[in-house]
């Protein structure tokens, strides 16, 4: 009887008032404007250069990721060219959408204006979500898909309408085309179905239709994986071993408080988790967080991998918190709200200073570059390309006629490919990720300008190598290129025949 009454009560339509919409949209709009004002301050990030390169070679799959992100980047390139602000616009829109959907989750869970604003602000002022709007990354869209799945799941459980499985399945399919880590969220969804009242949906045809839709959307990429011997699995295994070896998986639980969320919002998401566990109707969502969390922890995943599961916890926590605050006397209510929003804002201001390129010069820039390694990777790419072009121009005409540029990583590859045409540089030759699948030029060059590797490596692999220049940046920023790849060489052909060389030195990065 209780279940029936609960169902009848919750299926009544809830209308979002114009004022509530205005608050959510204002928060999202403010974050959008901040990103638009700051996203063009420096240059492309190393990872973005890989996406840009792959966007010029569209396929149903890539070694490092599924096809969705390069496809979206290709659309951006067609619209905006190589405008950094334009190319990052889809990321900004995705982050803004995640903020609004978080507020809507609070609304669906019974939260009023305070709960919706609190949940949306908690996401907007968290490190990982804010970072997702500063670069074009597959994690940006993966974050949005997780948030949308959580929202559709809440709608499913609230309305008891099994047709929501189609929406869930459709977004899961998009998620699988964006980042393979979606399988861990799927594990949480399935565990939530089995371990909660939602198991009744297994008998619904809509549940299976949602699964079929997800698989249908993912099918082209799956076929690509089969045709390429699941090379992406080899890549992911390599990256995981590297991350564990370099200690990037350390501090997993610390990252849940300091990277995935605003530190001051911890009481919210912890309360949200407890509330989901205690609520029979919505218990499924607790497992959608706990299962991926456990998988990533025990498999030594990096701390930010589960970040996209926190908006649903923050939405529930804000709803529970709103009810608790409403029970307090007026003075107590005002005091709690003042302390919470002050703390959230202060933490958010610190996060802004670390994550965003707020200044082109001055103390805020120095602070951000000192504390944010990703920002440091946005310097030096145009100078690298100019230096390589200068080395090419210094070669005798006979060598210039058959010169190639071999690069050591995907950032250098993207820089040469995207920024090299004005200097009439040849397309880069790269052994890394999907560039390796594209092969080497025919006929192969007899002279190579080699970037991004050590002297020991070039002397072992190539003939007749000499130091020809240095890689760095005029700002004196210490990043991967300036610290670990400072030398540029001119070499002859590989010691092995090109087919053997290409097969032996395939690399992941």
CA gap 468, 470 in Å, rounded: 7
Is residue 11's pLDDT more than 50?
no
278 CB-near residues (< 8 Å, 6+ apart): none
Asked, for residue 375, whether it belongs to a domain, the answer is no
Tokens of 134: 């500063």
**What band does 14 get if pLDDT is binned at 50, 70 and 90?**
low
What is the 3-state secondary structure of 457-502?
HHHHHECCCEEEEECCCCCCCCCHHHHHCCEEEEECCECCCHHHHH
DSSP 201: G
Range of the domain at 322: 14-355
Mean pLDDT for 253-259 is 97
Render pLDDT for 297-347 as a digit per residue (tens, 0 to 9): 999 999 999 999 999 999 999 999 999 999 999 999 999 999 999 999 999
Asked, for residue 91, whether it belongs to a domain, the answer is yes
Q: Maximum distance among all alpha carbons in the chain?
A: 88
Asked, for residue 405, whether it belongs to a domain, the answer is yes
CA gap 290, 504 in Å, rounded: 42
Considering the domain architecture, whether residues 437 and 473 belong to the same structural domain is answered as yes
Asked, for residue 327, whether it belongs to a domain, the answer is yes
CA gap 429, 506 in Å, rounded: 12
Asked, for residue 6, whether it belongs to a domain, the answer is no
Task: State the total domains in the chain.
Answer: 2
Question: b vs e for 135-148, b when ≥16 Cβ sit within 10 Å of the residue's Cβ?
Answer: bbbbbbbbbbbbbb
Considering the domain architecture, whether residues 184 and 318 belong to the same structural domain is answered as yes
Q: What is the DSSP secondary-structure string of 255-268?
A: HHHHTSS-GGGHHH
Say if CB 90 and CB 72 are below 8 A apart: yes
**What band does 10 get if pLDDT is binned at 50, 70 and 90?**
very low
CA gap 358, 342 in Å, rounded: 21
Q: Give the ranges where 41-163 is alpha helix by DSSP (H).
A: 46-55, 68-80, 84-87, 89-108, 113-124, 127-132, 138-159
Tokens of 257: 């408080």
Is residue 4's pLDDT more than 70?
no
Is residue 446's pLDDT more than 60?
yes
**Quick one: how far is CA 219 from the chain centroid?**
22
The number of residues in the chain equals 509
Asked, for residue 270, whether it belongs to a domain, the answer is yes
Considering the domain architecture, whether residues 390 and 261 belong to the same structural domain is answered as no
Cα torsion 306, 310, 63, 76 to 10°: value is: -160
Considering the domain architecture, whether residues 338 and 252 belong to the same structural domain is answered as yes
Considering the domain architecture, whether residues 403 and 329 belong to the same structural domain is answered as no
Helix, strand, or coil (residue 9) = helix
Considering the domain architecture, whether residues 299 and 399 belong to the same structural domain is answered as no
Q: CA–CA distance from 219 to each of 54, 141, 237 (Å)? A: 20, 19, 22
Considering the domain architecture, whether residues 283 and 350 belong to the same structural domain is answered as yes
CA gap 272, 284 in Å, rounded: 13
**What band does 1 get if pLDDT is binned at 50, 70 and 90?**
very low
Asked, for residue 54, whether it belongs to a domain, the answer is yes
Asked, for residue 5, whether it belongs to a domain, the answer is no
346 CB-near residues (< 8 Å, 6+ apart): 264
Q: What pLDDT sits at residue 137? A: 94
Considering the domain architecture, whether residues 157 and 46 belong to the same structural domain is answered as yes
Considering the domain architecture, whether residues 394 and 492 belong to the same structural domain is answered as yes
Helix, strand, or coil (residue 181) = coil
Considering the domain architecture, whether residues 26 and 169 belong to the same structural domain is answered as yes
**What band does 19 get if pLDDT is binned at 50, 70 and 90?**
confident
Q: What pLDDT sits at residue 7? A: 39
**What band does 20 get if pLDDT is binned at 50, 70 and 90?**
confident
Q: Indicate left, alpha or beta for 364 from its phi (over 0: left) and psi (-120 to 50: alpha).
A: alpha
* Percent of the chain at pLDDT exceeding 90: 95
Q: What are phi and psi of 196, to 5 degrees?
A: -135, 180
What is the 3-state secondary structure of 380-440?
CHHHHHHHHHHHHHHCCHHHHCCEEEEECCHHHHHHHHHHCHHHCCCCEEECEHHHHHHCC
Considering the domain architecture, whether residues 200 and 347 belong to the same structural domain is answered as yes
Tokens of 115: 């709960």
Considering the domain architecture, whether residues 314 and 181 belong to the same structural domain is answered as yes
CA gap 458, 429 in Å, rounded: 15
Render pLDDT for 455-470 as a digit per residue (tens, 0 to 9): 999 999 999 999 999 9
Q: Which pTM was predicted? A: 0.94
**What band does 18 get if pLDDT is binned at 50, 70 and 90?**
confident
Look over the chain and give the mean of its residue pLDDT values, rounded to a whole number: 95
């Amino acid at each position: 009887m209780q279940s029936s009454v609960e169902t009848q009560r919750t299926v009544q339509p809830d209308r979002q008032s114009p004022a509530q919409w205005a608050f959510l949209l204002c928060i999202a709009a403010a974050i959008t404007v901040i990103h638009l004002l700051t996203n063009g301050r420096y240059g492309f990030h190393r990872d973005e250069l890989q996406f840009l390169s792959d966007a010029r070679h569209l396929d149903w799959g890539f070694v490092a990721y599924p096809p969705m992100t390069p496809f979206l980047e290709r659309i951006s390139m067609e619209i905006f060219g190589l405008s950094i602000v334009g190319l990052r616009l889809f990321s900004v829109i995705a982050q803004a959408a995640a903020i609004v959907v978080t507020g809507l989750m609070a609304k669906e869970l019974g939260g009023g204006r305070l709960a919706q604003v609190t949940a949306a602000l908690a996401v907007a002022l968290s490190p990982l979500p804010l970072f997702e709007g500063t670069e074009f990354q597959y994690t940006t869209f993966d974050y949005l898909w997780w948030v949308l799945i959580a929202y559709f799941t809440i709608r499913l459980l609230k309305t008891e309408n099994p047709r929501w499985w189609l929406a869930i399945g459709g977004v899961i399919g998009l998620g699988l085309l964006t980042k393979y880590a979606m399988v861990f969220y799927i594990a949480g969804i399935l565990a939530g179905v089995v371990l909660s009242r939602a198991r009744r949906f297994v008998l619904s045809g809509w549940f299976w239709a949602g699964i079929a839709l997800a698989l249908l959307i993912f099918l082209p990429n799956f076929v690509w994986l089969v045709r390429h011997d699941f090379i992406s699995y080899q890549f992911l295994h390599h990256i995981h071993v590297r991350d564990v070896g370099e200690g990037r998986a350390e501090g997993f639980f610390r990252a849940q408080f300091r990277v995935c969320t605003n530190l001051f919002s911890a009481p919210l998401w912890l309360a949200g988790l407890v509330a989901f566990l205690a609520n029979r109707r919505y218990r499924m969502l607790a497992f959608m967080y706990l299962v991926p969390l456990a998988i990533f922890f025990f498999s030594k995943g990096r701390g930010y991998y589960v970040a996209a599961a926190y908006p649903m916890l923050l939405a529930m926590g804000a709803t529970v918190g709103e009810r608790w605050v409403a029970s307090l006397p007026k003075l107590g209510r005002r005091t709690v709200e003042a302390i919470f929003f002050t703390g959230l804002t202060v933490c958010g201001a610190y996060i802004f200073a670390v994550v965003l390129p707020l200044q082109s010069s001055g103390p805020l820039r120095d602070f951000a570059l000192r504390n944010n390694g990703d920002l440091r990777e946005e310097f030096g790419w145009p100078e690298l390309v100019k230096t390589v072009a200068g080395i090419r121009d210094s070669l005798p005409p006979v060598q210039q006629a058959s010169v190639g540029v071999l690069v050591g990583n995907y950032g250098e590859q993207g820089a040469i490919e995207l920024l090299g045409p004005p200097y009439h540089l040849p397309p880069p030759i790269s052994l890394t990720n999907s560039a390796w699948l594209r092969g080497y030029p025919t006929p192969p060059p007899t002279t190579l300008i080699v970037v991004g590797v050590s002297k020991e490596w070039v002397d072992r692999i190539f003939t007749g190598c000499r130091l020809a220049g240095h890689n760095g940046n005029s700002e004196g920023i210490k990043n991967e290129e300036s610290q670990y790849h400072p030398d540029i060489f001119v070499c002859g052909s590989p010691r092995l025949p090109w087919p053997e060389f290409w097969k032996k030195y395939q690399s992941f990065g």
